[in-house]
Structure 1
Amino acid sequence: MIDLDELDRKLLFALAKDATQSAGALGRRFGLSQPATWRRIKRLQDAGIIKGHRLRLDAEALGFGVTVFLGVKLARKGHISLDDFERAVSAIPEVQTVEHVLGLYDYRLRVVARDLPDFERVLRRRIMTLPGAGDVEANVLLSEERLPGPLGVSLGD
């Protein structure tokens, strides 16, 4: 782990808000040259603090109006391999994230669908037929806000 100074924290917070900002623009904003800013960003990447850049798509604008969080408990009969379940569920295009969790359920999935009948089709024909799929609990997303995230709050502390 590397020590982060105040400029590193400011850069991380700025990039977390908008990763498309150039090193030159960030440098001007924080009083650094473009090469110095780029070196800091590269150091943060090399240290594994910055793991990559993601493109966030608007699912609703793409025709996917329903997002459902599924808790999935694996059936104990046959002792299915976690790797087999993860590989099979990851191949379903409507499944956006697969998280192995501790608690009542073994996995938490984020699933998008065009509408509720489409979600029911995905659930019945794809998810419930997976090897080892047992009990499921569905929570339909009503609204979502994008907050700065836990690091945005704690970086200044």
Structure 2
Amino acid sequence: MNLNINGLDELDLQILDILIKDSRTPFLEIARKCHVSGGTIHVRMKKMEDMGIIKGTKLMIDNSKLGYDVTCFMGIYLDKAASYPNVLESLNNIKEIVELHYTTGEYSIFMKVICKNISDLQDLLLNKIQAIEGIQRTDTLISLSQPIDRNIEL
């Protein structure tokens, strides 16, 4: 591992590496693995939160077990770049959109959408997304499986 990456030292990176593998690892177990005190871990975690490196915790849910069986990715073509703020505001109110990126390349916006079924996806496309002023057209890719889902390793 590199030393002093963005103000982080070897211990900070070691802590992050442990948490990336299992974010529920107790501070005392991290301290034991790093050969430091629990207080040191607490101080380091607070420092990384203050720096914006750690942005809280996130509950991971298996959406299919809640009846959401369709995951897809959608590319959006805007009629003009100036439409982006208004389109973003409208898209932000659609609960099925779980991730959104303003991008370079073919699409202006690329997003991840989760729906209960294909019928709901069709309704979402026709009545919610494609009805937004400023959206010229969309491309939809349906995910068949997600064999990799991880954070970057340090």
TM-score by shorter chain over 0.5: yes
Offset, 1:72: 0.2
- Residues 50-97 of structure 1, C-alpha deviations (whole Å, 9 max, x = no match): 122211111111110001100000123xx7532111010010111111
Measured on the aligned residues, the alpha-carbon RMSD in Å equals 1.7
Q: Could you say if the C-alpha distance between residues 13 and 146 of structure 1 is closer, same or farther in structure 2, counting changes exceeding 3 Å? A: farther
* Paired amino acid for 1:75: D
Q: How does 1:94-109 map to 2 (within 5 A)?
A: 94-109=96-111
Partner of 2:16: 12
Rounded Cα–Cα distance in structure 2 between residues aligned with 1:59 and 1:111: 11
Q: Would you say 1:35 and 2:39 are equivalent positions?
A: yes
Superimposed CA distance per residue, residues 21-60 of structure 1 (whole angstroms, 9 cap, x where no aligned partner): 2211211222111101111111111122212221111111
Q: 1:146 to 1:38 in 2, by over 3 A?
A: farther
The 3-state SS of whatever aligns with 2:65 is coil
1:1-157 mapped onto 2 (5 Å cutoff): 2-76=6-80, 81-150=83-152, 152=153, 155=154
Unaligned runs of 5+ residues in structure 2 are none
Q: Which amino acid aligns with 2:116?
A: R
- TM-score relative to the length of structure 1: 0.87
Q: Which runs of 5+ in 1 are unaligned?
A: none
SS of 2:63's equivalent in the other structure is coil
What is the identity, as a one-letter code, of the residue corresponding to 1:142?
A: L
Structure 2 CA distance for aligned equivalents of residues 146 and 45 of structure 1: 27
Alpha-carbon distance between aligned partners in 1 of 2:125 and 2:8, rounded to the nearest angstrom = 45
Structure 2 CA distance, aligned partners of 1:92 and 1:99? 15
Secondary structure in structure 2 of the residue aligned to 1:72: strand
Q: State the alpha-carbon separation in 2 of the partners of residues 147 and 124 from structure 1.
A: 30
- 3-state SS, counterpart of residue 67 of structure 1: strand
Contact 1:69 1:109 (C-alpha < 8 Å) held by counterparts: yes
**Alignment partner of 2:124: what SS?**
helix
Tell me the TM-score normalized by structure 2: 0.89
